[in-house]
Amino acid sequence: MKDNKKQYWKGIEQLTNDPAFVKHADKEFSGDLPLGNEEGEGSSRRDFLKMMGFGIAAASLAACETPVRKAIPYVNKPVDVDPGIANYYASTYFNGGDYASVVVKTREGRPIKIEGNPDSKISQGGVTAQVDASVLSLYDDERLKKPQAKGKVIEWASMDKAIVSQLGSIAAQGGQIRMVSNTIISPSTKAIVEEFKAKYPTAAHITYDTISAYGIMKANEGSFGVKVVPSYDFSKANVIVSLGADFLGTWLSPIEFTKQYSKTRKLNKGKKNMSRHYQFESNLSLSGANADYRTAIKPSEEGAVIANLYNLIASKSGRTKVSAGKSIHPYINKAASDLLASKGKALVVSGSNDPAIQTLVNGINDMLGNYGTTIDLSLPLLTKQGDDAAMDSFIKEASSGSVKAVIFYNCNPVYNHPKGATLAKALAKVPLKISTSDRKDETAALVDYIAPDNHYLESWGDAEPKSGSYSFVQPAISPLFDTRQVQVSLMRWADRKDDYFEYLQQYWKKASGTSGIAFQGYWDKAVQTGVFELESSTSPSENTTAMDSLDVAIAPQETISTTVSNFQGDIMAAAASIAKSYKSGGSDYELALYHKIGLGDGTHANNPWLQEMPDPITKATWDNYVTISQKDAGTLGIKMFEGKSNMVKLTVGGTTLEEVPVLIQPGQAEGTIGLALGYGRSAAGKVATEAGGIDANPFIGTKNGGLYYAITKGLNVEVLSKEYQVAQTQTHQTYMGRENVIQESVLSEYKKNPKAGRYEPKISTWQAEDHKVDPSTLSLWKGHKYPNHHWGLAIDLNSCTGCSACTVACHTENNVPVVGREEVINRRDMHWMRIDRYYSSNAPVDDLRGLEVAAENPEVTFQPMMCQHCNNAPCETVCPVAATTHSTEGLNQMTYNRCIGTRYCANNCPYKVRRFNWFKYHDNKQFENTNTAMNSDLGKMVLNPDVTVRSRGVMEKCSFCVQRIQKGKLEAKKEGRRPTDADVNTACASACPADALIFGDMNNPESEISKFLNIKDIEGDYGIDKHVQEPRAYHVLEEIGVKPNVVYLTKIRNKEEEKKEA
Amino acid sequence: MQVESSLREPLVTGGKTVHDVTADICRQVEGKPTKSWMLGMALSLGVLSVGAYAVFMLLWEGIGVWGLNKTVGWAWDITNFVWWVGIGHAGTLISAILLLFRQRWRMSINRAAEAMTIFAVICAACFPGLHMGRLWLGFYWALPLPNTFGSLWVNFNSPLLWDVFAISTYFTVSLVFWYIGLIPDFATIRDRATNKISKAVYGALSFGWDGAAKTWMRYEAVALILAGLATPLVLSVHTIVSFDFATSVIPGWHTTIFPPYFVAGAIFSGFAMVLTLMLVTRKLFKLEDYITIYHIELMNIVIIITGSIVGVAYITELFIAWYSGVPGEQYAFFNRALGPYWWSYAAMMTCNVISPQLFWFKKIRTSIVSTFVLSIVVNIGMWFERFVIIVTSLHRDYLPSSWAMFYPTKYDLGVYIFTFGLFFTLFLLFAKFFPVINMAEVKSIVKATSEKKNDKVYGLGSREKAMEVK
């Protein structure tokens, strides 16, 4: 082939080969492509594509957007409502005999949390679970929203008109008018009642209490000539003997008593003494669980125990002995000698409502010289004024048809009075029946008119819980529904047209003897602080009120005589009556009725927070059951596993209770059966219906005129084959002798060595000289640096009574969902903080099976347990998406948004404090009847807006109330200072009536926790380690080296040294 | 050509010719689905749809439909996960490790074993996904992807993240290994295909295989490289799975023995599962000449060895619990053996330690029926092993207050069933549409045609007789 020599030029440029051409010869296009980078080039093809792509993407994204819900801002913002900033109002809680001065936290006008009012000398800033939970009752959808006449909605005006005309005609004909109420402690309300009685001369006011203290009043009438319940001061008692009085749980004034009692139980460097507490009781109560010496007795033995105790003391006090039945209980002698050894500094109390027993108790206290020291008759407690005899005669009157009109003032005797059924029948004979109940309860369902009262958070009012101590109720929100304060109703029916608020002010103007500006100052101060307490003669130094000038002007409003004479009780007659009516030694089972810490008399039955609160002792929720002793269970052949056991059939006199759930209770007196009141509400609402249970009120008997909360004869128990599972949050009873969990000792040992009972694990390593080192000195991790704050929590196991106020406070503060009975049975309760309750076991430490069985009458230890905020947190390392991390302030933080729900963190948590959202608990029909706070618009008003409501599938846990920490820090920052203890506290610690929890900044040497734990900073390899020098302090599971920020202090019992039980 | 000692028992019996191999194995692929296959498929799909309902309910309602609780956060989910992953070990072990050790008997079983591996890993992977509270986010949040959530990144300290990498790597390598092996066989089917669809599909699947010597050379090289890659993975996957437990602080989980113990257990259960499946496939597809008693016996020997390793591990755990002097650890093992779940521990011990020892008897290890029964027993035992480790450790750990029981619900069962449905559906699809035995490799071990005569004289698969004669 011939070579082709021809050359084709691409153009004239190639021929000329000029440099400009050569430069671009290798490129396809000459010059740069117009990419639109330079200004003024206009849009290019690429720009067009970009714009179009963006346009399409944006349009389609916009199309996917969820509908926008616009928040509408205030047009005129209320002066005192700032979005995001809470307001606090002092107020007063009084229900079922429980009194607490409270501070109500409101957000955007909604009450969301109840805190204790530290200014009160009575409740001293403490609350109970019921007080805490009462805020949810405000948003109870089943409260009546309008007044009702015979089941139909009616207007207030026409109701008032009808009632006034009917009352008028009844009074004109001389028909008897009765007003029935529980104890009223409001002086102004009492004045209104008096006015009402003046208007209708045939009217009488009958007071009864759901938890009666009539026996005490009656006994004091006989012994001292004053029909009152005295004040008790447990803080001054070195020896406390309680005969069935659960003074830490339900007896008279539990918050006050817990505050006082816990003072005597604290131990530290300067205080190496504590009170000794004896308890004689049938059911294991909260007080019994805290007692140093507890004796389980049958209700029928009460008489013998008290008479023997009386005799033992009388023989040393030069008084005549009484005839007493035999009592073989070993601790009676010991209690008597301890009591005698601390005369004047002892206290004997009894929960019995039998005046005869209370007379003997008075006699004992008198011999011991306790009046004037631990008992003060001159400052009577006014929260219990119920007269069982008067109530009984009212029911008789009503049954006879002589009562023509009755007003049930916020009370529900058809349910909670033992003769409720009789009353229900009798009501048919009463022509005019009115109830002021907030809901159509068992009594209100039978009346003609329901004039629903406001919730206390919507009301004005005053209270005198103790002679000379006053507190005020102020509304924290306008009435949610068309309800009316009961005082206004009474005023209208007494034909008064004025407003109750004005009446209240007028009343206090008169009482204080002031007017004008002076009164306004006094009033504002009183309402703002919530309490107003008179200088008392017995405790002059403790007065905290600053209104001394006004004190003089206000005399106690109560008409009750407080002139106390010397003890003049008829001991012999009382003893004879006891000998007659207490016959111990029978072979029948005996029924001991009690009130639960959570549910009390059942008024709060529709409150799911209380229903789901585990009972401090049984750890049961939602259920009503009978408790039987382990021995009796063995005899009856009942076994319990995971809360499941056979049901029983109970026959009491003529009443048969089919299918009663059973719970085997260590510490239950042999031959007795415990049953809680407050259940079986048929008309309290859907939550109460969900809980169900047995209404045990009809089993309350009478003894010497007082209501008697036991049945000692004719009780028959039949075991059924049907099984029932009680929903318990804890099913394992003992701590298996694990010293790394519970560390305890006795007082005598502690005095010798403050480290008594401590278990200090050592890790073996070749590095140390003796091959043993402290677990905290070894670590794989580099540790964290806490340059600013280092939050910590100290928990004194000696102070904690187990009352569970903290559990509910935490629930409220942190929007913790309620899951209901079924899910508790599935072991999925969501409590961020729980109180572990452990019984002692008699088995040796190496008998791993024997250790599972609690002792017949065990020692009890309560251990509040929440996220320990470990510095080497095992949960943090295992989360694949880093949803749980460590903060620079020592907090273990949970980021819900990031959580994908592998639950690895919960598995790896040695304390098992993490809670998983198994379902969607909010806006879910499944939880409509249990988690009411998250399933309706009304219920949701109670939620804390500072805390996220968690979605399904994420993990949650205690945050050390990080929202409160942030708020405290911000407040301090605004004021240009460091936060102090006063700025930051967790919900649990602030609720605790025993001051068992101390929260604070461990980096601040001035903080209470730093001082309490005596913290020393130790320079570690990577940062500063907090070394706790308090000898009683320990970390739970110290040996695994997770370095928690929660510290526990050993439990010390004031017992003689005994063979150590595991 | 392969030189085989005449004293050796032929690995393929029945005097198969190279063409017989092709015909026997392609028969299933080319023929109409058999009745038994249809039946099996219907059953699998039925199980799958029942399971799918459980999965739907799980996703719709939440993890609460399972029986888990605040104390026992993992139970059947992770038990099933580890169980399936364990099963998924045999395939790679057989094809990779035995390839490296030049164990030729693997050739007739490795294809199905590998398929089983892949399907088992798919089933296993269902659980870490489904057990998440928020699967819809978790499936990609658990990956280290660049994102716009700020500086959010995964936590490389978490063993769960290691799992993600371990499982996905293992799955990818196993899949590639399996697929590379399939290519020559796909080509064979493509070349035999008579209808257009088969031709097109298998043509695409065979990646243009031309059978050239160069191609074969590359094929061998890739197989070897992949085997080399896969071998450490066999050991690493279950090691990392065991880290989920070993790196925790829970007594009963926190032990250093877990990696070797888990790997041995995985091979143990994997071989048992291979046996279960192979015995059925062999029978239904009439592949007795390819999967002989000799194969079964060898696999049973592996089961004795791994079963014994597992047994030693169990006893070591008990010894160490006692020897450590740590009360928590001691209680964990006391509770395993004698606590409320003693029966699961007993089941584990019986099935995993005692039952494989029966294979010491030649009669038992060469009996198809007893092998089949024991292979299932072993897998039951291995399921219980994981249940014991997970549930009995969690349900009673440090604080007695939190001790609880775990009771499964129908949805626990349902989701487990779902993976069975999935597994068998996939396996049946594989068995029908893919060559269940590696034709190309098996052809390399088919003896000369002259042996046909010998076998006719001495009968099938009788090693002793063959030896006597020679």
Distance CA(A116)–CA(A105), nearest Å, equals 11
Across B444-449, average pLDDT: 63
Instruction: Please give the C-alpha separations between residue A983 and each of A100, A525, A964, B198, B209, in angstroms, as whole numbers.
Output: 23, 23, 9, 78, 77
Across A446-466, average pLDDT: 93
- Give the whole-number percent of chain A exceeding pLDDT 90: 65
pLDDT digit string (tens) for B231-265?
Answer: 888 889 999 999 999 999 999 999 999 999 999 99
Check residue A706 and give its pLDDT. Answer: 85
* B151 pLDDT more than 80: no
For residue B351, what is the DSSP state? I
Contact yes or no for A900 and B402 at CB 8 A = no
Contact yes or no for A878 and B247 at CB 8 A = yes
Taking the Cβ of residue B327 and every Cβ of chain A, the question of whether any pair is shorter than 8 Å is answered with yes
How many CB contacts within 8 angstroms connect chain A with chain B?
A: 173
Query: Which residue among A734, A736, A912 places its CB closest to the CB of B71?
Result: A912
A414-423, A446-455, A575-584, A917-926: segment of lowest average pLDDT: A575-584
Contact yes or no for A903 and B394 at CB 8 A = no
Taking the Cβ of residue B58 and every Cβ of chain A, the question of whether any pair is shorter than 8 Å is answered with no
Closest residue, chain B, to A872 (C-alpha): B249
Chain A residues with CB under 8 Å of B396 CB are 732
Secondary structure of residue B365 in the 3-state scheme? helix
Check residue A933 and give its pLDDT. Answer: 92
Instruction: Please give the C-alpha separations between residue A1014 and each of A469, A1003, A1051, in angstroms, as whole numbers.
Output: 38, 12, 18
What ranges in A626-665 are assigned the alpha helix state H?
A: 630-636
Distance CA(A288)–CA(A275), nearest Å, equals 14
**CA neighbor of A861 nearest in space, from A67, A420, A290:** A290
* A658 pLDDT more than 90: no
Distance CA(A506)–CA(A460), nearest Å, equals 13
In the stretch 117-146 of chain B, residues with CB closer than 8 A to chain A read 128, 131-135, 137-138, 141-142
A62-66, A254-258, A622-626: segment of lowest average pLDDT: A62-66
User: For residue A1041, which phi and psi values (nearest 5 degrees)?
Assistant: 70, 30
Q: How does DSSP assign A68-96, residue by residue?
A: P-PPPPPSS--TT--TT-EEEEEEEEEET
Secondary structure of residue A837 in the 3-state scheme? strand
In the stretch 918-947 of chain A, residues with CB closer than 8 A to chain B read 918-920
Contact yes or no for B400 and A734 at CB 8 A = yes
Q: How does DSSP assign B254-314, residue by residue?
A: --TTHHHHHHHHHHHHHHHHHHHHHHHHHHHTT-TTTS-HHHHHHHHHHHHHHHHHHHHHH
Selected residue with higher pLDDT from A49 and B446: A49
Read off the pLDDT band of B448 (50, 70, 90): very low
- Give the whole-number percent of chain A exceeding pLDDT 70: 94
State the average pLDDT for chain A. 88
Contact yes or no for B63 and A953 at CB 8 A = yes
* A655 pLDDT more than 70: yes
Across A798-806, average pLDDT: 94
Secondary structure of residue A506 in the 3-state scheme? helix
* A419 pLDDT more than 60: yes
pLDDT digit string (tens) for A933-979?
Answer: 999 999 999 999 999 999 999 999 999 999 999 999 999 999 999 99
For residue A1021, what is the DSSP state? S
Tokens of A638: 């009942």
Chain B residues with CB under 8 Å of A912 CB are 70-71, 397-399, 402
Taking the Cβ of residue A823 and every Cβ of chain B, the question of whether any pair is shorter than 8 Å is answered with yes
Across A204-211, average pLDDT: 92
Check residue A96 and give its pLDDT. Answer: 83
Q: CA neighbours within 13 Å on the CB side: how many for A21?
A: 10
- Domain at A586-725, CATH class: mainly beta
Complex ipTM: 0.90
* A663 pLDDT more than 70: yes
Check residue A714 and give its pLDDT. Answer: 83
* B305 pLDDT more than 60: yes
Check residue A624 and give its pLDDT. Answer: 92
How many other C-beta atoms lie within 10 A of the C-beta of residue A340? Answer: 17
Number of H helices, E strands in chain A: 31, 45
β-pairing, A662-664 with A626-628?
parallel
A780-784, B75-79, B300-304: segment of lowest average pLDDT: A780-784
Tokens of A717: 């128990």
How many Å lie between the alpha carbon of A994 and the closest alpha carbon of chain B? 22
Starting at the edge strand found earlier in the chain, the sheet holding A98-107 runs: A86-95, A98-107, A110-116
Check residue B155 and give its pLDDT. Answer: 92
Let me know: does A180 contact A166? Beta carbons within 8 Å. no
Residues near A848 by beta carbon (within 8 Å), at least 6 away in sequence: A736, B331, B334
Domain A148-207+386-466+469-551 sits in CATH at 3.40.50.740
Read off the pLDDT band of B98 (50, 70, 90): confident
**Measured in whole angstroms, how far is the alpha carbon of residue A497 from the centre of its chain?**
39
β-pairing, A915-916 with A892-894?
unpaired
Let me know: does A914 contact A878? Beta carbons within 8 Å. no
**CA neighbor of A509 nearest in space, from A197, A188, A193, A198:** A188
Instruction: Please give the C-alpha separations between residue A651 and each of A669, A717, A781, A966, in angstroms, as whole numbers.
Output: 19, 7, 63, 57
Closest residue, chain B, to A1037 (C-alpha): B398
User: For residue A153, which phi and psi values (nearest 5 degrees)?
Assistant: -70, 140
Across B367-371, average pLDDT: 93
Across B271-290, average pLDDT: 86
Taking the Cβ of residue A781 and every Cβ of chain B, the question of whether any pair is shorter than 8 Å is answered with no
- Structural domain B18-447, CATH architecture: Up-down Bundle (1.20)
Helix (H) or strand (E) holding B386: helix B368-387
Burial class (CB in 10 A: 0-12, 13-18, 19+), A698: middle
* A101 pLDDT more than 90: yes
Instruction: Please give the C-alpha separations between residue A422 and each of A188, A417, A418, B9, in angstroms, as whole numbers.
Output: 32, 10, 9, 97
Burial class (CB in 10 A: 0-12, 13-18, 19+), B81: buried
Query: Which residue among B64, B74, B405 places its CB closest to the CB of A919?
Result: B64
pLDDT digit string (tens) for A1014-1023?
Answer: 998 888 776 7
* B458 pLDDT more than 70: no
Domain limits of chain A?
86-138, 148-207+386-466+469-551, 214-264+272-381, 586-725, 744-1053
Check residue B283 and give its pLDDT. Answer: 86
How many Å lie between the alpha carbon of B127 and the closest alpha carbon of chain A? 11
How many Å lie between the alpha carbon of B70 and the closest alpha carbon of chain A? 5
Q: Long-range contact list for B204-209, CB < 8 A, 24+ apart?
A: B207/B183, B209/B183, B209/B184
* A915 pLDDT more than 60: yes
In the stretch 150-189 of chain B, residues with CB closer than 8 A to chain A read 152-155, 157-161, 164
Which CATH number, 3.40.47.10, 3.10.310.40, 3.30.1300.30, 3.40.228.10, labels domain A214-264+272-381? 3.40.228.10
Tokens of B99: 């390839």
pLDDT digit string (tens) for A844-862?
Answer: 888 888 888 999 999 999 9
Distance CA(B50)–CA(A1041), nearest Å, equals 47
Check residue A996 and give its pLDDT. Answer: 94
**Which residue carries 């002076």 as its tokens?**
A518
Tell me the sheet residues that pair with A707.
A702
Instruction: Please give the C-alpha separations between residue A421 and each of A281, A406, A600, in angstroms, as whole numbers.
Output: 30, 16, 21
Chain B residues with CB under 8 Å of A900 CB are 132-135, 137-138, 141-142
Query: Which residue among B161, B247, B402 places its CB closest to the CB of A880?
Result: B161
pLDDT digit string (tens) for A304-349?
Answer: 999 999 999 999 888 888 887 777 788 999 999 999 999 999 999 9
Domain A744-1053 sits in CATH at 3.30.70.20
User: For residue A641, which phi and psi values (nearest 5 degrees)?
Assistant: -135, 125
